[in-house]
């Protein structure tokens, strides 16, 4: 299958410290690809470069064959490349439903002219956005708390809400950053099931940074291991777990 994300020979340094060193990875369209490695391997930095949060020093990043090198996150959003965060970024004083309704860009109601002179258009669009948001709320299992302030949700519910936000757009690739962090095992099961459904039923491609190896084992194929800013090895979770280099660099480092 074709690579929807193609990272080519990327370098990134902070001062004299090289964090990403001639790193190249490919994420196949329709895959759930895992990105793991010991602390300091460069995972978060590479993630932030792909997501448009950090500029690279040299190299190229392509999205479905289109050059997106150093494009900011807001431009990538409109191209269908989105990310979630390790710490959820909800609008705490808005309800869960309202959080989802905020996502679609360029809504008619954002224009004062439309609000004054085209109220019927604004109401029609808002009704459609609300309908879609309710569908998403049902999909992610948050219907019972749809009218709860997002700030009052549990950590796991906030992560589900973040995943739901990606469904309010024309997402093609979703970057998941430590989505299991701070989530209880029950809600983590819901998260994993929703990711699998989005991949299977809607064709989402995922790139996942995660320390929960059980989650990586269930979700991801292939798995890419970074070490010292470069790709050490790529393969199935079984190949990764039995690779002596990974045991030494990753699992050994964690023990």
Q: What is the CA radius of gyration of the chain?
A: 19
Q: Residue 4, Cβ neighbours under 10 Å: how many?
A: 21
**Burial of residue 150, with CB atoms counted within 10 A of its CB: 0-12 exposed, 13-18 middle, 19 or more buried:** buried
Integer Cα distance of 154 and 69 in angstroms: 36
Q: What phi and psi values does residue 158 have, to the nearest 5 degrees?
A: -65, -40
pLDDT tens profile 131-157: 899 999 999 899 999 999 999 999 889
Q: Note the pLDDT of residue 254.
A: 45
Q: Note the pLDDT of residue 53.
A: 93
Integer Cα distance of 29 and 75 in angstroms: 20
Helix (H, G, I), strand (E, B) or coil at 92: coil
Q: Give the residue extent of every domain in the chain.
A: 3-89+170-254, 91-152
pLDDT tens profile 91-143: 889 999 999 988 866 655 555 656 556 667 667 778 888 889 999 999 989 99
pLDDT along the chain (255 residues), means of 10: 92 94 96 92 94 96 96 92 76 92 67 62 77 92 94 90 86 89 82 91 93 90 94 93 82 50
Write down the CATH number for the domain with range 3-89+170-254.
Answer: 3.40.50.300
Helix (H, G, I), strand (E, B) or coil at 125: helix
């Amino acid at each position: 299958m074709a690579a929807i994300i193609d990272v080519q020979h990327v370098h990134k340094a902070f001062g004299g410290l090289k964090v990403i060193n001639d790193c190249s990875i490919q994420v196949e369209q329709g895959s759930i690809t895992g990105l793991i490695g010991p602390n300091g391997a460069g995972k978060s930095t590479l993630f932030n470069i792909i997501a448009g949060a950090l500029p690279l020093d040299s190299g190229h990043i392509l999205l479905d064959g289109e050059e997106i090198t150093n494009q900011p996150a807001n431009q990538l959003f409109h191209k269908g490349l989105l990310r979630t965060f390790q710490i959820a970024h909800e609008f705490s004083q808005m309800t869960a439903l309202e959080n989802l309704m905020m996502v679609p860009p360029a809504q008619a109601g954002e224009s004062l002219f439309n609000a004054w002179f085209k109220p019927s258009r604004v109401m029609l669009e808002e009704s459609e956005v609300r309908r879609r948001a309710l569908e998403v709320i049902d999909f992610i299992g948050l219907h019972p708390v749809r009218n709860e302030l997002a700030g009052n949700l549990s950590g796991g519910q906030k992560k589900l809400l973040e995943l739901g936000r990606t469904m309010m757009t024309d997402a093609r690739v979703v970057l998941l950053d430590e989505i299991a962090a701070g989530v209880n095992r029950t809600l983590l099961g819901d998260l994993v099931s929703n990711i699998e459904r989005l991949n299977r039923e809607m064709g989402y491609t995922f790139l996942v940074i995660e320390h929960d190896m059980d989650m990586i084992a269930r979700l991801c194929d292939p798995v890419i291991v970074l070490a010292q800013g470069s790709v050490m090895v790529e393969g199935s979770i079984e190949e990764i777990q039995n690779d002596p280099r990974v045991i030494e660099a990753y699992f050994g480092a964690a023990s």
